[in-house]
Every structure is written in structure tokens, then in C-alpha cells.
Structure 1
Amino acid sequence: MSGGTHLDNANPVIYQRSGERVLTADEEDEDILHLIRSINDPEHPLTLEDLNVVEQMRVNVDDQGSTVSVEFTPTIPHCSMATLIGLSIKVKLLRSLPNRFKIDVHITPGTHASEDAVNKQLADKERVAAALENSQLLEVVNQCLAAKI
């Protein structure tokens, strides 16, 4: 976030990372968490995994049905960054997975005050495409996806 901007959650709880695990060839396609675990939080110098926003148990892959579903949990119920976080997850998966996959990114039920509105935005292909045409918003998403140095 830019300097002087109010943070929704100035002191988030930081969780211990689950650690890297060696994947077998069969698990490689199904372990989506390794793609999204290092996405940067837009407000803090931490990853979504550090903040427990994404967890393996909330990622579901149906390889035969070509679907990926990811639930994410904002750090607070009124997180103003929830849509941006969901968009970052969706963009990372769209860029990383074969086109055959239908990607569903949504808020864990009951964890955000505006979950229906955010989920509706994230499920709307036209809204997602329009968001990605906005150069300023795309720059913020790319910053969330950039690898830490």
C-alpha cells in the first residue's frame, strides 16, 4: 500500500508456514497451494500463507472435471482488500494452469461481511476481464504476484 494509507488490519496474526513438501509426479498437478502460497498480501510484507488466508484444505482440484476451487479467508471480516486478494489468486491460477481448467475463487463462507458481493465479482468473467484491463489495478495485482527478493 502507498504511504499514509490506513491499514484495515495493522497487526495481523502471522502463522508458521507449513513448509515445502516434495511432490510425486501424480501430485504435481493437484497441489495448487504451491502456486498461490507465495502471493503477497496487498497491505503487509507477508504472504497469503503467512497470514493463513490460503490453506491446503481449502483447495480442491478435480483433474478429470477440469475444475479448481479455492476458498480464501480474509484476516478480518471487513477486509477491504478481499476482492483484490481473490483477484490475485485467480490471476495466478489463470496464468499458471492449462486453459482447460475452470477456476473458482471465493471467500470461505461466513468469514467476510460482504462475501456474497465479493464472490459475485470474482465469478463474473466480464468483471475480472475489465479489472485486468485497468493498468493501475493490474500493476497492484502484479505486485502481489511478484516473487520476493
Structure 2
Amino acid sequence: MVSGLINANPTVYEKKERRARISPGDVDEYLVEPIDQQEIFDHIRDIKDPEHPYSLEELKVITEDAIEVDDKQSHVRVTFTPTVEHCSMATVIGLCLRVKLMRCLPPRYKVDIRVAPGTHATEAAVNKQLSDKERVAAALENPNIIDMVDECLAPSYECR
């Protein structure tokens, strides 16, 4: 946790009920279901906010409606909304989303993580950092950053 919170009293929302998923043993091993919006949401909904003991879903930083999936083109876009306009953790949240999806999705998928338009004071800079492969790779080599990411992913570390 970080002291000196930017948003000390965030609004906390009710979590959605989880959709039942078909386990791999229940379907023919050669049948591959397309990845959909709900599946992506299920992967990322429990990621913990870096500053609060709540999930990104509970803070409405991520919502199912802000996820776009094109399974045929192997493309996923997640648009997130920081809790405050000057959120200092926006890039960390974006990095957490990217890492979780990198760990859970087949490698053929291209993942775009973006801040929702008009929701962050430095939206363009955050989006540029999150879409720059070299910056993401460098961040993931920094032990302090990877520790923070792993802490945020801890409650949801396994792919569902």
C-alpha cells in the first residue's frame, strides 16, 4: 500500500456475479471456444488496486463494457477509468492489466490497454507508456515495479 493516498475515500461498488465457465474436461479437446468480453473481464476483475484493498471491479476502474474483443483478429482492448483525474498509479494499473492478460491469454493475442478518454490529466502520456513495448519491458525488469504488480495480481494470480 502507498501512504498519502490521492483518493483516500474511493466509491466502492458491488461486484457482479460470476458467469459459470465450461471446464476444459467438459468439451471436446479439439473444440476451442472464442475468447469473449466476459472471459477477459473474469481474468482482470479481481486485480487489486495499488492504493486500496479493493479490486479494480469494486472501484469501477474496469467494467465489462470497456472491453473490446476481436477473437478473429486476436485483439483485445481494455479501457480503464482511474478513480481520480490525477491518479499517480494509472500506469501501474495499466501494467497490471497487461501482465495479467499476457499471462492468461494465448500468445497470438495483441493486447491494448488504454485510459478512458477524458478521465486522466496526462491521458496521452499514460497511453503512450502503456503501448510502448520497450517501456513495458523495461518496467517489468524493475524489481520494485514487478513486486508492486505481483502484489496487485496476488488475489487473482491464477488464470480462470
TM-score normalised according to structure 1 size: 0.93
1:126 aligned residue: 134
- Please list every run of 5 or more consecutive structure 1 residues that lacks an aligned counterpart in the other structure: none
Q: Which runs of 4+ in 1 moved over 4 A?
A: 24-28
CA distance in 2, matches of 1:85, 1:27: 28
1:67 to 43, 55, 75: 75
Opposite residue 35 of structure 2, the aligned amino acid is D
Name the structure 2 match of 1:29. Answer: 35
RMSD: 1.6
Which secondary structure state, in structure 2, belongs to the residue aligned with residue 147 of structure 1?
A: helix
Cα separation, 1, equivalents of 2:34 and 2:19: 11
AA of the residue aligned to 2:11? V
User: Hey, what's the Cα distance between the residues in 2 that align with 1:89 and 1:7?
Assistant: 21
The separation in 2 between residues aligned to 1:27 and 1:10, in whole angstroms, is 41
2:50 is equivalent to residue 42 of structure 1:
yes
* TM-score (ref. length: structure 2): 0.87
Deviation, 1:22, is: 1.9
8 Å CA contact 2:34, 2:71 repeated in 1 = no
What is the aligned-residue identity percentage? 53
SS in 2 for 1:60: strand
What are the residue-to-residue correspondences of 1:1-149 with 2, within 5 Å? 1-2=1-2, 5-23=3-21, 29-30=35-36, 31-147=39-155
Q: How many corresponding residue pairs?
A: 146
Answer with 1 or 2: which has the greater Rg.
2
CA distance in 1, matches of 2:20, 2:35: 13
